[in-house]
C-alpha cells in the first residue's frame, strides 16, 4: 500500500528545487516551450530541465522553467524578454537564490529576430544583421525593423534567429 503524501511532498514532486542553475519564473502561460526553443534545449543542455505549464501565480496562470547547472547570458535573456516580458530570472547557487532579476525590455535588439518582410535587405544575402527597435504597448512587445520599418507584434517566437 502506498502511503499518503503530504501536500508539501506533492509540490516537491512537481517542482523539484535545483542546486545550481536558473529558474525562469512568471513566463506567460503557454510560452515555456518557446523559451526552451530560444535556449536550444534539449540540444544545448546535458542536465535536467523541468517545465511547469499553467502554474497558479498572483496574476493568473504562468509557466516556470528550471534549468540545472546553467546560468543564462545577456543575449539569451534578451530573447526571452521578447516572448515573456514579465519573466523573472532567478540564478540559483547551492539551493539558494543568488540573484533575482526582472527582465528588462531592451530598446534595441540585433541579430535576434528575422524581419517579417521577405523583401527587406536584412533578409537578403547582403552582410547585414537584423536590427529592431523594441517598444511595448499594453503589455505587448512591438518590434520595428530598422531597415524596412515593418512592425512585428504577433508570433515573435516564430521569427527568432
Partner 1 sequence: MTFKDLNIISMKDFSRDTIDHILNTAEKLEPVARGLEKSDLLDGKVLSLLFFEPSTRTRMSFETAMIRLGGRVLNLGSVEASSIAKGESLADTIRVVEGYSDAIVLRHPKEGSAQMASELVSVPIINAGDGAGHHPTQTFLDLYTIRQESHLDGVKIAIAGDLKYGRTVHSLCYALSLYGAEITLVSPKELRLPDEIIYDLKKRNIKVTQTDSIEEAIRNIEVLYVTRIQKERFPDPAEYNKVASNLLITPQLLEKADPKLKIMHPLPRINEIDPRVDDTDHACYFNQSFYGVPVRMALLALVMGVLE
Choices 4-12, 84-92, 100-108, 121-129 (CB under 8 A): range interacting with partner 1: 121-129
Query: With binding defined as CB under 8 A, does residue 145 bind partner 1?
Result: yes
81/124 Cα distance (integer angstroms): 26
Provide the 10 A C-beta neighbour count for residue 20. 16
Q: Which of 33, 53, 144, 147 binds partner 1 (CB under 8 A)?
A: 147
Query: With binding defined as CB under 8 A, does residue 116 bind partner 1?
Result: no
Q: Which of 122, 134, 143, 152 binds partner 1 (CB under 8 A)?
A: 122
Distances (CA, A) of 115 to 1, 28, 145, 152: 58, 23, 7, 8
Contacts to partner 1 from residues 6-65, by CB under 8 A:
none
48/85 Cα distance (integer angstroms): 25
82/155 Cα distance (integer angstroms): 10
Query: Smaller CB distance to partner 1: residue 146 or 159?
Result: 146
Positions touching partner 1 (CB under 8 A) are 117, 119-122, 124-128, 145-151
Amino acid at each position: 500500500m502506498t502511503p499518503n503524501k503530504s501536500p508539501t511532498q506533492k509540490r516537491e514532486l512537481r517542482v523539484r528545487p535545483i542546486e545550481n542553475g536558473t529558474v525562469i519564473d512568471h513566463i506567460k502561460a503557454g510560452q515555456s516551450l518557446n523559451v526552451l526553443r530560444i535556449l536550444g534545449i534539449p540540444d544545448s543542455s546535458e542536465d535536467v530541465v523541468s517545465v511547469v505549464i499553467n502554474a497558479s501565480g498572483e496574476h493568473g496562470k504562468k509557466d516556470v522553467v528550471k534549468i540545472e547547472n546553467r546560468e543564462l547570458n545577456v543575449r539569451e535573456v534578451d530573447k526571452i524578454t521578447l516572448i515573456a516580458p514579465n519573466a523573472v530570472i532567478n540564478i540559483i547557487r547551492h539551493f539558494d537564490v543568488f540573484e533575482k532579476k526582472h527582465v528588462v525590455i531592451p530598446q534595441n535588439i540585433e541579430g535576434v529576430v528575422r524581419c517579417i518582410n521577405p523583401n527587406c535587405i536584412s533578409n537578403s544575402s547582403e552582410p547585414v544583421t537584423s536590427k529592431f527597435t523594441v517598444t511595448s504597448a499594453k503589455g505587448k512587445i512591438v518590434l520595428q525593423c530598422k531597415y524596412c520599418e515593418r512592425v512585428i507584434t504577433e508570433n515573435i517566437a516564430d521569427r527568432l534567429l
